[in-house]
Amino acid sequence: MSTDSPRDGLHDTIIIMYETLFNDPAPSELLKPLKKRKILNLDMVLETVNQGILDIFKVEHAKRKALKEEVQHLRAEMIRKNKLINELKTKVRKLKHQCQCQICYTIPSGWRTLLCGHWYCPECLPPIGATCGTCRQVITGVIKSY
């Protein structure tokens, strides 16, 4: 049995014809000129690429929209927190003012409260027998406060 028999050549031809059925374009496309077939293939490739670009654009647009909404939410939260901070600063300022000595405006660690209800730091406390600097009542006693 020789390898170059006509039967083996026929077998190879049949295999080649069979493979071309799946690799080559459809017979209707074979009738079209080669340039037209390439243009059609190029159009399909361009359409696929354009669709891919459009899909990427849509995804990026959705991400950007979500980020804009998040930024808007964070700005609103920041404005709300800034208002709260300003309110707290005002309260602290008022409390500091209430805790200041009415004469020297310091905030001492200990207070001296007069029987009339007014209070002073130990350094500014008027002596017993003198008058209160706020209401002008005679000082008859002092209560030590902490």
Judge whether 143 lies within some domain. yes
Q: What is the pLDDT of residue 44?
A: 87
Q: How far apart are CA 103 and CA 130, in angstroms?
A: 15
Judge whether 7 lies within some domain. no
Residues 75, 35 within the same domain: yes
Q: What is the pLDDT of residue 2?
A: 46
Higher-confidence residue: 44 or 85? 85
pLDDT tens digit sequence for 24-42: 555 555 555 666 666 778 8
Helices (H), 24-141: 27-30, 34-99
pLDDT tens digit sequence for 121-137: 889 888 888 999 889 99
Judge whether 5 lies within some domain. no
List residues bridging with 111 in a β-sheet. Answer: 145
pTM: 0.48
pLDDT tens digit sequence for 96-107: 988 888 889 888
Q: 111-114 and 119-120 as β-strands: parallel, antiparallel, unpaired?
A: antiparallel
Domain that holds residue 65: 25-99
